[in-house]
Structures are given as C-alpha cells and as structure tokens.
Structure 1
C-alpha cells in the first residue's frame, strides 16, 4: 500500500515548496501580473486557440465587460505548470491548470484558496470540483470537464457480426475485437504512451477492474494490464499504441480501419461527422467503468498586491458563469444547471454529460500531490508490459516499489 498522508505529501514536495515559497517571499511580484491596475495576465495551455477562437473571444468579452485588458499567454499544459513553479517572482494573475496539478501547486504555496478570494463553488458537481481540493480547501474553479469513452465504427461492427449491445464487460469486448479482426478489419486503438496521457487512458480499465492507485501491484491492477497486454500480443491492438498520443490514436481510428477506439469527448464533433458512435468503457464484470475527469481549473496565483484578487475573481466568474468558458472550450459544464442548458441546446451531448457524471478525478482518494509520482510509475509499467520488457505482474510490482520509495 502506498502511503499518502499529509506529512508524506509535504516531504515529497520539500524541494519544490521550500524553494518556491522562499522565492515568493524574497522576490514577490513588484507590481502585479499585468504591470498596472487595469492589465491582468492569464496563462492557459491552448496554443492552438488563436485570437479568432471562441476561447479568445470569451476572454475578450470578459475584458470588455470589466473595462480591463487581459493579456493571454499560451503554452502546453506541461509548460504552464513548469512556468508557474519557476515564476515565483512574476506569477500571472490567473492560470489555467490541468486538474491533477492543482494540488501540487497549492501545496507549494503558489495558489490562493477560494475562501481567500471569495470564489463560490457551491453549485459545481462534486466529482469535478474535488480535483481542486487539498486538505479541506478548494483552489480555483473548473471551467468544465471532459472524459473518455469507447468509440466504435458501426459499419465495421456490422460487417463483423458484432452487436454493440453484447459488449458489456472485458471478456465480451475482447470477443468483439476478435470478430472484428477475423473479418479483416483492425481491432482497437488507444494511447499507451509513456506520459500522463498513457495513464489517463489506462485509468478506466484500471478502475474498471476495481484497482486502487495506492496499490499498483494488486491482482485487480494486474487484470487490467493483462487485458491491454493480451490485446497487443494477439494483434487486437497495434504496437503503435506504445507511442500514440490521444491525437495520433484518433487519427488511426479516423482511417476507418478500426472497430473501436478509446478516446475523449473532445472528438465528438469529428465522430459525429464520420458516423461513429460511443459507449462508456465497460467494467471488468459489467457496468460502466469510471473514467477520469479531464479539464482545467482557472486558478488565482498568489500576488503581493492582494487588492488585485477582486478583479481576478470577477474574471474567473465571467469565464465560468453561464457556460462561457465550457462552451468555448467544448467542455461539459461543471454545474447541473449548465449541463441542462447544454443538453437543451444539443441533445446529442447526453452521452458525454452522463459519462462526465460517472467520472472521477485522478487525485481521488486524497492522493493530492502524490498522484504525479504514482502516475509516472503506472505509465512506465504499462510501457514495460506492452513492449514485452516485463510481465504485467512484474511491471506493476516494480511500479509499486518505485512509487512507495519516492513517497517515503
């Protein structure tokens, strides 16, 4: 069992927390994120969304409403987190943070609490909000959420004689894949890449087998990893899953050669155009497996001039009220009211709203900052098993030992 107590969290973050909090005290922002009282900085992980995008337009609309200037700086999610942890003397006013990283940044003393800024999260669905909780405090507001599902190509399944209603658990899904491959098509594609994306995609199968992230070497965890390993070894999934990102995996599925693909709600539009449909990832013995919640929180980093928090709070409220940010980014809204509005506008969202409702955060079970360490060992175990370096049991035993050592 991996221990994840508050004391161990603090120990594992010692270098980060001490260095950064010390830096904050010695090198606090001289004027504020934007440099003057009407300019506010926002960092986000969306370099692909340019000034003409709906997201940029939502930011501009909020700036106009509040009579301020919002300067936007975009990078990928990893760079946003890295930049925040090294910018203690020049933190932005607002930062979009991938939800499992919120606790890490909060533990390092870089984020304000919602009780400090007055942000109200009472209407947000618990399974979406909990990713931003640490030791009884919440940090920032989720702009929305996405999650994973199991897409399928109905034409390929029909040609293979597979009734999607028969796919209810791991065994029946494997049987369906065998029929698809026997018919001359390809089975399933997904991402098992050696990054957080690989863990993200493995978690529905891991949790669906009733495995726990604090016990990576359990028999349940072995069942999940054995499933993926068998698919690759038997040719039901391609070797390319080892290097596939979620994007390249989707490109494979879009060739029309595959029966199934595990991927995210953000591909719904492309799936609709191609005539592909979705079911939730099944559990090992039936029912829907809990998939992880994806998406970012809009957080308010610590500033030396605390008077800036009032306007920063208004910016967050503007981007998270009335589904402005969620709709702009293609997310399921974080509130029941917002989801109802989305469903009324587009009834085809029902599947994904249900899937998000059944999802859970990657930092569930109070993992907090321990999640990053555990995730790294888990995707390493997946890589080792699928590549044939280790058996699933040995790969997970090594992962458990490595995680436990780093969390001491």
Structure 2
C-alpha cells in the first residue's frame, strides 16, 4: 500500500524545501559524463524480502551487466522508499533507477523528481492503457510498470457446494448476498475482507464503491452510500465478521485459509498461499452492483528514472529499465512476484503457463489506477476520509450516509 502524500512531503520538509529538486542528481557518485557509461549505478526497490540470490536480485544485477555497469541494489519497504527518495533528491544523491508503488509516482512527479519516459526514449505503447495510466500525469508517463496486481474473490468450493451455491450464479451484489445467506444457513461463514483504517481498507472498498458507479470526487453520492450500505449489511447480518475492522489483507487471508469461509476478497499475491491452503478454491471477478466485473484498483510498481544533474547517465538507466521490462524478463519477474504482466503479449504467455491466472488477467483489464482520472496527489487526501467513513459505518458509529457526508467534507478541506 502507499504512504500518504503528507507523510512523504513531511519527510522532505524535514530536510529542506522542494525548490532545488530538479537540479539534484548523480546517484552513483560518479563525476561527469565521462564515467556515465561505466561504473556503478544505484537501484532502489520495495522488495526487502528478495535478496541478491533471488531471481529478482539476479535479474537486477544481470541487467546492469548487460548495460556494461555494476548495479548497487538497495531494498526498502514501500513507505520508507518513498520517504528516502524525496530526501535523497533533496540531498543530491537520488538513485539512478527506482522501482516505486504506482500511487507514489504522482507525488514524486509533483516534487520534480522523476523524468518522463518520452524524454528518455522509453516505449510504453505496448502497455495496457489502464496500467500505464496509474503512472501518467497530465498526459505524460513517468515510468514503466513491471506488472500489476489487483483484487478478486477467492472462493472455497467445498463450502459453497455444501451450501448448495453454484459459484457461476454469483454475478452481481444480489446474487452474492443470496449466496452468503445460504452459506450462513449451512453453518459456515460468508465472506472476509479488510476494512482496516489504512490504505488497505480503501483499496479493498474501492471495487464496491466503483462497482456501484461511485466517483472519488463525490464520496457521499447515492452510489457510494449503496456500496458502504452493502458492507454494513453483511457485517450486521453476520455474513462478514466484525473483525474486518481490524483485518489487514494478510489477516483476512488467514481467516479465509482456515477453510471456514465461502469467500475471501484478496489479491493476486495470495495465489501461492492459495495453492498451499489444503482445499479446492476458485477465483471470481468482484461483481459490480448490477452485474459484470467491478473496476478494481491497480497495484504494482513502476520502474522510474529520477532526475540527474549529469544527464549523460540517462542512457544507461534507460537500458536497465528496458532490460527489466523486456517481454522475456517481464514473464519471469511477474511469475516470481505473482503479478499480471502489463502487456497483452506477456499476459497470454502467463495464462498459457498457468490457466489459474485467467481471472486475474480479466480483473486487471477492468482495473483502474487510484491516482488516475486527474486525481494525482489528491488521492491520499480522499482515501483517508474514505477509510475513516468505512470504519465509522461498520462499527455502528454513523450511518453510511452520515459517514460519507463527513468524509466528503473532510476531503474538500484538503
């Protein structure tokens, strides 16, 4: 999940002002353009769980070798990486290449840190429009996505069968709620998800909000109220547990993995765990209110090139990004990370190798960036009031309408 804009900017404010950002650079510490085609290039990513011996670690090193340089890779968690990127740029030692969570791109662009892909000569034409859209600001892309993850509905085949529910019958909100009612009557549990008061809660609520036709600039519309009312109905009627208020996406998955739940809203990244769960499962696209697939939020990272004072370094940085995002390397990377590739050509190869990915490819096709549609850095100032409203409604503190009215008022102040 992303850190909020105010957290990122607060980190930068502690170091100084934004004024000198675009003049900063020289990530490797190499002086002058003479050394730009050799030496060491600095690479940051948000994968501290993947060490140098992992397929990803070897790929990054190999792309440096292919470009004729040594890559010094440092991995941070997502929030820490965003903070350090702002500070490093202010101090004049931004990395040469940086992999960042897609909602952070707009914040870094606003701070003047990232270069446009068009200025670098990077080709983004083959990339699915909604995926590249998460890193596009004012019509310009500022990075190349290495893949996307998103949300769908896992289901337990045994639980549904015992309740007399055909998963193919789940096509909209009414049919899903009817299935949950049957599951509860059979003695099992309905659905688990994350409604925690962080970005994870907003991330999980967005498919229902968008699936009702909601607009993030009007949180308290009738459509938004309908979505929050649906979740409240599920909690009130015992179809979803009250602990969704504290559930992260990890703890929500752990509940589903007990085998007691019919459905679990979760992400592509749980596929490996699903195969280890010990029961037969399937995957459905999250349904929109009146049928069809709901738009789901796009997750995943962008390979970006921070602004450098020595512009001669961009040529090698471009080669590293092109290597990381080539079709062959996207296929291996996205298989390792359990991401859906950002291009149709690689997606088809993924599905051929693993047919279980087909629902996820469909889900990503319907996905949209959280910061797209012109929201950019406004998104965090909308997301926080949204997750606060979800908490207030599900806990019984406010009605869905009152909670979203308060959220809209809060978002408009920011």
> If the length of structure 1 is used for normalisation, what is the TM-score?
0.91
Q: Which of 383, 387, 391 matches 1:379?
A: 387
Asked whether the equivalents of residues 190 and 263 of structure 1 are also in contact (C-alpha less than 8 Å), the reply is: yes
Larger mean CA deviation between 69-78 and 215-224 belongs to: 69-78
Q: Shift of the alpha carbon at 1:199? A: 0.9
Give the distance between the partners of 1:41 and 1:328, measured in 2 at CA. 23
Q: Shift of the alpha carbon at 1:245? A: 1.3
Give the distance between the partners of 2:334 and 2:204, measured in 1 at CA. 22
CA gap of 1:350–1:105, structure 2 versus 1, over 3 A, is same
Q: Shift of the alpha carbon at 1:380? A: 1.2
Asked whether the equivalents of residues 16 and 108 of structure 1 are also in contact (C-alpha less than 8 Å), the reply is: no
3-state SS, counterpart of residue 22 of structure 1: coil
Give the distance between the partners of 2:301 and 2:42, measured in 1 at CA. 17
Residues 200-239 of structure 1: pairs in structure 2 closer than 5 A: 200-239=203-242
3-state SS, counterpart of residue 86 of structure 1: helix
Q: Shift of the alpha carbon at 1:371? A: 1.0
Q: Shift of the alpha carbon at 1:311? A: 0.7
Q: Is the aligned partner of 1:360 residue 2:368? A: yes
CA gap of 1:25–1:49, structure 2 versus 1, over 3 A, is closer
Q: Partner of 1:326 in structure 2?
A: 334
Q: Partner of 1:294 in structure 2?
A: 299
Residues 116-127 of structure 1: pairs in structure 2 closer than 5 A: 116-127=119-130
Q: Any gaps of 5 or more consecutive residues in structure 2?
A: none
Q: Which of 22, 33, 42 matches 2:27?
A: 33
Q: Shift of the alpha carbon at 1:66? A: 2.1
Give the distance between the partners of 1:308 and 1:21, measured in 2 at CA. 23
Q: Partner of 1:197 in structure 2?
A: 200
Give the distance between the partners of 1:236 and 1:259, measured in 2 at CA. 10
Q: Partner of 1:345 in structure 2?
A: 353
Give the distance between the partners of 1:211 and 1:398, measured in 2 at CA. 16
Q: How many residues align?
A: 392
Q: Any gaps of 5 or more consecutive residues in structure 1?
A: 1-8
Give the distance between the partners of 1:121 and 1:47, measured in 2 at CA. 27
Give the distance between the partners of 1:314 and 1:272, measured in 2 at CA. 36
Give the distance between the partners of 1:20 and 1:338, measured in 2 at CA. 42
3-state SS, counterpart of residue 360 of structure 1: coil
3-state SS, counterpart of residue 366 of structure 1: coil
Aligned-residue CA RMSD (Å): 2.0
